[in-house]
Amino acid sequence: MARITGSYPDDLDLLIEGAVEAGVFGGKSDALREFVREYFEDHENERIAAAVALYERERITLGDAARLADVDRWTMRDILREHGVDLRLGLADEKDAAYEAEAATELEFDDEPADNGTSDSQ
């Protein structure tokens, strides 16, 4: 889990501290995690912008970008194209390969074989 050090006004610190003392949150870290989580849930455009920026700077994979933006991989590809971001194709590392393998196991296929216009009786 990442660790962040930051500054905020004393009044906010007091409110957070009071909420912790009132049992609203288990601690200041819990409160701040909840605030950030709610912000990104309520601000879809900012969540997508963050995912696009990280992908563009090669900090995350397409799969990670889709997860962070809360969209499927195909929609994320479209979003990246709309933002003028070049797609990186291929597997970046073993983690990316494992993610792709896991995603492939979730694919569903028809039980019916495709009719390609040929017949076995020829």
What percentage of the chain's residues is helix, strand, coil (to nearest 5)? 55, 0, 45
How far apart (Å, rounded) are the C-alpha atoms in residues 87 and 62?
8
Tokens of 34: 């909840």
Whole-number CA gyration radius for the chain: 22
Phi, psi of 78 (to 5 degrees): -65, -40
pTM greater than 0.75 (yes/no):
no
**pLDDT tens-place string over residues 10-46:** 999 999 999 999 999 999 999 999 999 999 999 999 9
How far apart (Å, rounded) are the C-alpha atoms in residues 43 and 24?
23
